[in-house]
Amino acid sequence: MTGPTNEQLANLLSRCALADQKAFAALYEASSAKLFAVAVRITRRRDWAEEVLQESFVKIWHHAGNYDTDKSAPMTWMTAIVRNRALDWLRRPREVQTSDDVEALLASVADEGPGPEELAALAAQAGQLRECMKQLGPDQQRSITLAFFHGLSHGELAEKMGRPLGTVKTWVRRGLDRLKQCIEGMQAK
Amino acid sequence: MKYDNPTIRDRLAAEYVLGTMPWRARRRFEAQLKTSPALRVAVSEWEALLTPMASNLPALTPPRRVWQGIQKRIHGGATATAATSWWYSLGFWRSATGFALAALLALGVVMTIPGDPPTAEETMMVVVMDDMQTNLPAMTVSWEPGQSDSKVLRLRVIGHAEMAPDTAWELWMLPGKDRAPVSLGLITTHELQTLPVPAQLVPTIDDAWGLGMTVEPAGGSPSGSPTNQMLYMGQCVKT
């Protein structure tokens, strides 16, 4: 068991949709630590991650009625909201973005692809995704992991990995294609 | 229109979910998302495929101010924890003399405030307890795990439960299969409360399978074992 059950979280979400604030507080308690970890990974700054988490929970509160149990698991739905807010935050145009900012950002990402915690997270995946990630080439795997966990754009990936933009784009695209084919193949079995 | 091509649609959805799109492309994509159900389906599929990668990241408890900020944004200033806000107010701490603080500590006043999410940025134990009759979440309990001389449980009663006259709610540690529940003490129906863990259970509560609550005669179970079936029950989870 990796957390409160999907049924419990889905129920809390449905009560949030009815403006039940106690359910919202319980939902926060049950899920915020997982979601904060995601926000910190992507934004790489605690203060930004806190802002992202706040915005995300406000969105979860106002849009809880849109959550559909048939379409996704509650944590998937909430994680997607947090990742989207974090990515928007990271990509938002800022008045001044010096090359120092970009360099500091890239330097803050571990040099050799996924760090131990990310590897552990990947290794702990249930079955399909882990198996399929393993089937990717090392560059495909690394570029997808860097983009997913650290929110790097194509340009940042190219800089980080020291390869031309076109090469990196191809790694990501082919990696995603293979990942999808692999998972669909497993689900078809 | 490039979004009409299923292959391109799928590829763009994948890049959007993975997060490699720059700002403008994201904005354009999101504008399309509003009008294209097919695109939304593609995004949902990629979210379902990729998001589980994040599910096993080590949890990180956000600082309390995050919850306060959320409350402020939702309720426009009035926070749900207003009753305890004096505790955090700078003024209070500025006016509290060292002596007063020492006195509070000497009296063993529990320094944990109910109602706020955990303060420490570390892993937490969380139990979401379901009402066994309705199968709906009815209470949450959380505490900081680890080696410590004392532990305090933070309780949040979710439902609008009422306690029948001459009864008491007793919280139990459920150590695991084939092992008898051990009493943690009596609790109230208040939404927010704290409960110090009995000293002899401090070393073992992190390893408990779960927690349960029973309705007992006033004063608690006379025998030290539950006299009723668990009304609320949930499994301990380390987040």
Q: In this structure, are residues B211 and B151 in contact, taking their beta carbons and an 8 Å threshold?
A: no
> Following CA atoms A6, A8, A14, A20 in sequence, which dihedral angle do they give, to the nearest 10 degrees?
-150
- Which residue among A7, A122, A148 places its CB closest to the CB of B19? A148
User: Which residues of chain A have a CB within 8 Å of the CB of B54?
Assistant: 34, 37-38, 41, 79, 83, 121, 148-149
Task: Say whether B63 and A87 touch across the interface (CB within 8 A).
Answer: no
CB contact under 8 A, A122 and B48: no
Name residue, tokens 């306690």.
B163
pLDDT at site A95? 52
In the DSSP assignment, the letter for residue B2 is G
Contact check, Cβ <8 Å, A122/B65: no
Residue of chain A minimizing CA distance to B131: A8
Predicted confidence at residue A4, as pLDDT, reads 80
Residue range A31-77, pLDDT digits in tens = 999 999 999 999 988 999 999 999 999 999 999 999 998 888 999 99
Instruction: Using an 8 Å CB-CB cutoff, list chain A residues near B67.
Output: 28, 32
> How much is the pLDDT for B90?
39
Query: What per-residue confidence (pLDDT) applies to B78?
Result: 45
Which pLDDT belongs to residue A125?
Answer: 57
Higher pLDDT, B172 or A95: B172
Spatial strand order in the sheet of B152-157: B182-187, B167-174, B210-217, B232-238, B125-131, B136-143, B152-157, B192-196
Residue of higher predicted confidence among A186 and B187: B187
A64 lies within 8 A of chain B by CB = no
Nearest residue in chain B measured CA to CA from A14: B136
Q: Which amino acid is at B143?
A: W
- B59 closest CB neighbour out of A34, A118, A157: A34
Alpha-carbon distance B96 to B99, whole Å? 8
Would the ipTM clear 0.90, i.e. be above it?
no
Could you report the per-residue pLDDT of B57-103, keeping only the tens digit for each? 888 999 999 999 999 998 874 444 433 333 333 333 334 434 444 44
The pLDDT value given to residue A119: 61
Tokens coding A129: 């995704």
- Find the mean pLDDT for residues B125-134: 88
Give kind and range of the element (H or E) at residue B152: strand B152-157
> Would you state the pLDDT for residue B212?
95
**Mean pLDDT (whole number) for B26-48:** 91
pLDDT in tens, B132-157: 888 888 899 999 888 888 899 999 88
Q: What does the mean pLDDT of chain A come to? A: 84
pLDDT of residue B104: 39
Instruction: Please report which confidence band the pLDDT of residue A127 belongs to, taking 50, 70 and 90 as the band edges.
Output: low
User: Residue B158: which pLDDT band, with cuts at 50, 70 and 90?
Assistant: confident
Neighbour-count burial for B135-151, b at 16+ CB within 10 Å, e otherwise: ebbbbbbbbbbeeeeeb
Q: For the residues A96-109, what does the mean pLDDT come to?
A: 56
Residue A78 has a pLDDT of 97
Q: Which long-range contacts (CB under 8 A, 24 or more apart) does B66-70 make?
A: B66/A32, B66/A36, B66/A50, B66/A53, B66/A54, B66/B117, B67/A28, B67/A32, B67/B116, B67/B117, B68/B116, B69/A50, B69/A54, B70/A28, B70/A54, B70/A57, B70/A58, B70/A61
Closest Cα in chain A, distance from residue B194 (Å): 15
Q: What is the mean pLDDT of chain B?
A: 80
Q: In degrees rounded to 5, what are phi and psi of residue B2?
A: -65, -25
Nearest beta carbon to residue B237 from set A4, A38, A151: A4
**Max Cα distance, chain A (Å):** 52
Q: What's the confidence (pLDDT) of residue B115?
A: 41
The pLDDT assigned to A71 comes to: 83
Question: What is the pLDDT, as a whole number, of residue B103?
Answer: 41
Whether residue B49 has pLDDT greater than 80:
yes
Helix (H) or strand (E) holding A120: helix A116-123
- What is the rounded distance in angstroms from the CA atom of residue B159 to the CA atom of residue A184? 42
Q: Do B55 and A149 touch (CB under 8 A)?
A: no
- Give phi and psi for B172, each to the nearest 5: -125, 140
CB < 8 Å from A in window 77-106 of B: 80
Question: Residue B81's closest chain A neighbor by CA?
Answer: A25
